Structure 1
Amino acid sequence: MSRIVSRLRRYVPRRILALCLCAVSLALAPVAAAAETKVGSNVDNRVILGIAAKADALQPFLPEGWTPMAFPGGPFSGANVLFVAIDRLVQLDGEGAPFGPANTRHIAVAGLGQAGGEGAPRLHVYRVYSSDPSPNPYGNSLGADITRVYTEEGPANEGRSRSERWRVSPEGGGTLAIDLSFTTGMRGKSAGESQTYSNTDPDFFRIYRYDQVTQVLMSEGLGIPLSGSLSVTSDVPELSDIFDGSEAVVGVIDVPVYVRDVFLP
């Protein structure tokens, strides 16, 4: 286990670590395996941004009766909305056969919420901007032109200089732009099981079992500074209240390898 994950375990209970290291999912209430149906699997590259925004800006994205809440600890401590940039490399159906386009890109917007401001939190997917919105499992996918420019250079056995440039132009106008540069370092490997809910149908959720490789690039809560630069801007109309100038990026995680199986209860 890498020094990064070891350091997180000194600061964060195991359960909170699992919550915060998952790509767009939250381990909350496991469902009995006997009742599950496997519907697919995938292999991705991911970059996750944790942003602290005004709670009022997130309320419209949550189901009725739910209120937003911030992550209580870990790399995303203080963040109440996640932006997950996904470059999908492999997509398989429930029988293990390839389907859909050879590659797809997505930006998932998600956040924690509580029913009536109390009780067990859930991670809801607020919106998925997608180069292929047709699967639409959460009922909130929106077609988008998504480009990614990725570069990496440096020595074979040491940290390398990496850059990520994402441009997301959804149907309806505007552009979300993410420019990130950093130096790669020691990574950690983790596995987990999680559930993620729809904000359009609060009773619908998918179960994920995943393995991932992660590097915490930045975390205000853990005192980890970014070894590079980051710019996040947006003029997408439905995100205007989130990106009103008061928002702050409080955590960034790089997930160069993310492998998961997807189940329905």
Structure 2
Amino acid sequence: MNGFSSSLLANKTVLVTGAGKGIGRACALMAAKCGAQVIAVARTQADLIALQNEHPSHIQVWQEDITSPHFLDRVLSLNELHGLVNNVGTNKVANMFDQADEDLDIVLDLNLKSLYRTAKAALTPIKKAGGGAIVNMSSQMAYVGSPGRTLYCMSKHGVEGLTKAMGVELAPLGIRVNSVCPTFVLTPMTKPMLENEEFKEFVYNMIPMKKLATTEDVANACLFLLSELASMVTATSIKVDGGWTAQ
């Protein structure tokens, strides 16, 4: 937070999905500390209450399934919106021979289709606000391949294509669209993977900086892209990957 002012997002309303844990929680907290009025969306009420208690005057919470029509209707009905952090995702790790067929729909529905639908709903209140910024949560796996991650890589490559197309299409409306591409971050989703010592060694060997990203590292990039500091940045990505994809 050292580089950001408490007024960076003053008078802005920012919606963060997947805000109950991990990266989404860090984004919601940081946006609130930067002066935004945050709408934090998650499925688990206890997580949302704990988050709201951190900044009750700046965080309102929605307990919603972001794949539901009710959630999309709530977004559409907002009077105005200045920023969206499209942060939801899942992973089904398996080699292609063993990957369950239903996993294809699970991963694509959450990692790609839900981002598109949420962004489409958000466009109406963002346009009412006179413009704004959308940040799609992507991954370093949008730029490389990795064993056991065909579905995840496919979905995140799709997020990059979506981000570029949205950025170009919406630029005349004053709506910027970018993505953030983290390396492995210690979150509830990645914790079980990193408890495997062989996999953990592989990850550290692939990151030149020899450390994992923190949720705050990723939130820093998101907050920059939401802010006027990034007023000429659209249709591109920020990699928070410690150098993984440069090799």
Fold similarity call, TM over 0.5: no
Q: Which has the higher contact order (CA 8 A, sep 6+)?
A: 1
Which interval holds the TM-score relative to the shorter structure?
under 0.3
- Which structure's residues are more often strand, by fraction? 1
